[in-house]
Structure 1
Amino acid sequence: MTMLQLENMDCGYGAFHAVHDLSLTIEQGEIFALLGPNGAGKSSTIMSIAGHVQLMSGAIRFDGTDISSLSARERVRLGIAVAPEGRRLFPDLTIEENLTVGGYSLSREREAVNREIVFTLFPRLTERLKQPASTLSGGEQQMLAMGRAMMAEPRLLMIDEVSLGLMPKMVDVCYHAINHLKSQGVTILLVEQNTKRALEVADHVCVLESGQSVWQGTAAEAQNAPDLIEAFLGMAKEAS
């Protein structure tokens, strides 16, 4: 069953088009990876779906309904949440308070249930519950960013640059959580420059370059296309 469709989407900032004529389909319960170098339009795509970047043309459909004109808050209520690039936590708020912000649209009872789900996936957060977010390590901040998004009970969870700047052990923890969420029926839209890790978990892939889709297919097809992987890695190396 189709959950999300982008139809000839253009989005950007003011007069600047960051993404051009992008069409893709994401099925319910799958992990869909957006790959590409810095500046390819991956984050702009995710933030446009979330309602934070201007949609210039085209349509965004969620469960078959055009949500292009809905506010970011209304999209959260439909079940769309994002863990953004750079985490964007509230640095002076504690872990507990950041999680509370993530569950603002829910009842106290649902908030408490979701908090326990977050703590089960990320037990380290329980050890630092009263610490300000600014005092956490990069890995702990990434856990908190994902946990805050999970507090909204998303049906579609978008995670931007999961492994960026993290130690391998912390990357493993985050990907374990992603696999667990998929097993629970959550659809994941994943932005990642770690091609190998993304292809290990993804069902489908879209490669962006200069704001345009240059390849789409299954993760298995991507893994069996050395020319594609070599081209992507070359782009990523040049952009770093």
Structure 2
Amino acid sequence: MLQLKNVDCGYGVFQAVHNLSFSVEQGQIFALLGPNGAGKSSTIMSIAGHVKLFAGSLHFDGQDISSLLARERVRKGIAVAPEGRRLFPDLTIEENLTVGGYSQSKVKEAVNRDMVFSLFPRLTERLRQPAGTLSGGEQQMLAIGRAMMAEPRLLMIDEVSLGLMPKMVDVCYNAIRHLKSQGVTILLVEQNTKRALDVADQVCVLESGNAVWQGSADEAKKDPDLIEAFLGMTKESAA
């Protein structure tokens, strides 16, 4: 579904990612892992069209989308729940969801809103509450829900569990599993390596903007050098 070929990307004259290539198959959960500053978020946002592509190409469903605007990529079926959530704090939950569904018809918007509420019932209880007054877990639910309002076939989620209580992390990961079961392809950036490896099919590990390892999540769990050197875990904790 998604293919990056020799991608260089960054901000202004700063290059954050170097010669990155990987493919994401339809229906997979693909995890981008690595330390802070590795280039994970830059990769996600370059796919979304918000970070400049210096070289290489991005293909989605066989089409080169490298030069498409961000809003055109949304219409192709790509949506992102960004790091830090980036909600509209003064808008209500309902209004944030409406913004997320701007590319859809009114009929689809209503259907997708119902889908979000079934995924995160807690949002229904706070429908008219400003997003800025929500807890961190509720904001993460809303960020994922807002992205799902675009009816994406590729959902990218950046730092799912960052700053969340364990119970809220469980809620978000249960939602991720459910979305996968519904055929949504997911590209996941995560600092919580164990949680990512538990749900991912494939993994790409980045360090200093370079891919240092690619393979299946099962292979990653069995590679002691990988998990200790790049993922900040011991082999026992990854098992």
- 1:178, 1:231 → 2: CA distance? 27
- SS of equivalent residue, structure 1 residue 233: coil
Unaligned stretches of 5+ in structure 2?
Answer: 234-239
Q: 1:104 aligns with which of 102, 105, 114?
A: 102
- 1:233, 1:218 → 2: CA distance? 15
- SS of equivalent residue, structure 2 residue 80: strand
- 1:28, 1:234 → 2: CA distance? 29
What amino acid does structure 1 have at the position aligned with 2:186?
I
What amino acid does structure 1 have at the position aligned with 2:128?
K
Tell me if the contact between 2:207 and 2:230 (Cα under 8 Å) persists in the aligned partners.
no
CA positional deviation for 1:232: 2.0
- 2:190, 2:230 → 1: CA distance? 12
CA RMSD, aligned part only? 0.8
CA positional deviation for 1:226: 1.5
Give the TM-score of the pair, scaled to structure 2.
Answer: 0.96
Aligned residues: 233
Q: How does 1:156-235 map to 2 (within 5 A)?
A: 156-234=154-232
CA positional deviation for 1:172: 0.4
Q: How does 1:1-240 map to 2 (within 5 A)?
A: 3-234=1-232
CA positional deviation for 1:233: 3.4
- SS of equivalent residue, structure 1 residue 101: helix
- 1:6, 1:25 → 2: CA distance? 6
Identity of aligned residues (%): 83
- 1:121, 1:227 → 2: CA distance? 37
Provide, for residues 112-166 of structure 1, a one-character-per-residue CA deviation record: whole Å limited to 9, x for no partner.
0000110001000000000000000000000000000000000000000000000
- SS of equivalent residue, structure 1 residue 20: strand
What amino acid does structure 1 have at the position aligned with 2:150?
A
Give the TM-score of the pair, scaled to structure 1.
Answer: 0.96
